[in-house]
Copies of this chain bind each other. A is one copy, B any other.
Amino acid sequence: MPGNSFGTIFRITTWGESHGPAVGVVLDGCPAGLEISVEDIQFELDRRRPGQSKITTQRKEPDTVEILSGIFEGKTLGTPISLMVRNTDAISKSYEDIKDTYRPGHADFTYDAKYGFRDHRGGGRSSNRETVGRVAAAAIAKKILNLNGIHTYGYVKQVGDVVADNIDLDEIEKNIVRCPDSNKVQEMIELIEAVRKEGDSIGGVVEVVSTGLQAGLGTPVFHKVDAELAQGLMSLGGIRGFEVGLGFEATTMKGSQANDVMYTKDSGELRFKTNNAGGLLGGITNGEDLVVRIAIKPTSSISQVQHTVDKSGNPKELRVKGRHDPCLCPRAVPIAEAMVNLVLVDQLLLSRTTRI
């Protein structure tokens, strides 16, 4: 299958270049009869939109979504849902002088190597702008999950070496860095501002948690929940690692420590005393919260002078102009949530076919 589709039953196909006419998504396989409004979708797009605060890129796009098909009189038809966002604030001209220069950390060189040719403006297809389609479709996934009692929350767990220890979900959307620990908000913001002033950028970690999951979701062996989440999240730009539960911390532990012990609740429900596994056993949900993390590299576009080459191999000095996030983490939160929701809704629908 070509590369721009994701999901088995609830299947998205995203399209669009950063500075082309528009970006969008076709969602096929959404069940019929779901109440959904353009506002439901716009709400999530607004959360990922650039220009929201002093620590995100100042590119100002209203990112207004248009529903082109699949929704009629406020309800999904069961037919493909086509969603489009026009690109309006694309200043293509600022890219003209670096047309043939390979920006460090970007996919300019590899797109040329693969396709022999590329839309150089703002990264073209390799731009983070591609995620508009994912987030728009995931707004619909979210609605279905919520109806099933499943809720997904993402937050910035770490910026550089500043780590959020206390997770307070109510805190997340109150601060511009989407940090769940009120004691670390200021520190994170200051670090981001400091690197921006240096013309530099900084990496970090986003954690996503889903609650309310019944035990039994996931499709062994290649479509285990963690395998699908890893694919979905690693397919985002700038991600260098993925963890579930204890993640790499488990590598230094013993089995007697890492195994989660089961017990029976008074209600008779079987549960786990700890959640080292992050909510999955054998790639199938076990009824505990799903917990995943992604490692986000520092933004490649920085305003410091960098050395590189152009298409013909000539050395170049490059100072990336444009407007870029000094830290990708805050805006990565709604995008990471989107990917988790897309995986979960697909597994939820698939689970209807599991038993005779």
Contact = CB atoms under 8 A, between A and B. Distances in A.
A201 B257 CA distance: 10
- Provide the main secondary structure of the chain A interface: mixed
A283 B21 CA distance: 24
A307 interface: yes
B243 A240 contact: yes
A205 interface: yes
Contacts of A155: none
Interface in A264-301: 264, 268, 270, 277-278, 280-287, 295-301
Contacts of A254: 195, 198, 200-203, 298
Given A68-B16, A77-B115, A111-B282, A203 B253 contact: yes
A53 interface: no
Contact of A78 (B115, B256, B285): B115
Interface in A96-123: 102, 104-107, 109-111, 113-119
A243 to B, nearest CB: 4
Nearest to A66: B21
Nearest to A79: B125
Contacts of A258: 105, 203, 297-298, 300
Contact of A353 (B29, B230, B268): B29
